[in-house]
Structure 1
Amino acid sequence: MALEIRRIPALTDNYIWLIHDAASGETVVVDPSEAEPALAAAEARGWTIGQVWNTHWHPDHTGGNAGIVAATGAIVTGPEAERARIATLQRGVGEGDTVQIGDHVAQVLETPGHTAGHVVFHFADDRLLFSGDTLFAMGCGRLFEGTAAQMFANMRRFAGMPDETVVYGAHEYTLSNGRFALTVEPDNTALIERMAEVERLRDAGEATLPTTIALERATSPFLRAESIKEFAERRAGKDAFR
């Protein structure tokens, strides 16, 4: 039975992801910036959150941990490398570890760059990727604690995943990312077509996530970078883009 996934808007442009397995009745919340929206969304569906998964330590991804734990007793899982910066962390994980909801198992992949210990959760069998602040629609995380070489390696890893892999990033940055992408590849037909759809969605107040690996491979300047040097130039360009 497929997992049910719900998008919960939070703060200015964050997305919290709620994962539910009907077969087991288990529910996981990924990167809860705030507790209240996640708890309300679960309660409205008759779900009880039993686990919290954090991709990294930033407060807009962990700010809701304590409130959710207080309300539900949920177990908090996140990067062991960032344990000192996530006060609520109970289970630390790293490369090669797994997390599970019902019978659905996700591999933990270490993806340093945005933060030194960032991880993502990849359900290979279900073709799902919860990418935190490493991979966005047509974008990637800023290099606050890591290097261009590290983030380029992450992009190569994602690019090797199956086309149909659905990507659940944590921010609604797509419009800005796409506008920058057009400065890199102004003649990319797939990108031009995608941006028309993105603009339509945003004008209607609708979300642009999740995305897919196939779509990112066709339109993301970061997934399409062919070398560390090219990636670094594009990341620096996006940092300065207005």
Structure 2
Amino acid sequence: MATQSLSLRPISISFSRSDTPKTGRSNPTRLGLPSSFLGDVAFLRSTNPIPCIHMPLVTTRSRTVFSSLPTAKTDKASAEKIHKWSARAIKAFGMAELEARKLKYSSTGTEALLMGILVEGTSLAAKFLRANGITLFKVREETVKRIGKSDLYYFSPEHPPLTESAQRALDWAIDEKMKSGEDGEVTVTHLLLGIWVEKDSPGYEIMASLGFDDEKAQELAKSMDKDASLTYR
């Protein structure tokens, strides 16, 4: 098969000294180049590009809310009197608020705290629940059966406030940690047992209906302080 050879001749462009501005760069307007090319050249030669702005992944509001969990007792507001919550517990609380919003509830109850623990999923408490057949799907199903669904056109607040029973569950967890006299953090296990203490709450009723009892609570209490802190990325 015959091939054709293509010969390219070099193109020489000559211009006078007036074509070269004081910057030492050739002036493209004297070379007969199209105006679109001039725009490209101007862009490429820009010495002051627009800076790239990176938005933070976590807002200031989120950092403020999830740096600690709320307590209803003013005497526990001082950092000197209260143990810090573990990273797992803080994330479980955040997931509880999210679950409440998904179901379009106006508040975050013990049932939402229970779902938040299971959504977070890595704590000893969450693993204990799953090992005993208490899963997120079952808890969510029981929640809808007991509390029902919200109006289709209702929108939950960004941070649904805690119900009284949910607030007491958090306060119980703090009290229990303080009573132990040991250093460390308030863990998800403290939070789960705090839900179990609230006998008339939806969270307690759901746990009981799915097979959780006092014997399992005592077994879980043995690992109350073993949930090590975890940094999430």
Taking structure 2 as the reference length, the TM-score comes to: 0.26
Bigger Cα Rg: 2
Higher normalized contact order (CA 8 Å, seq sep 6+, divided by chain length): 2
Taking structure 1 as the reference length, the TM-score comes to: 0.25
Richer in strand (by share): 1
Richer in helix (by share): 2
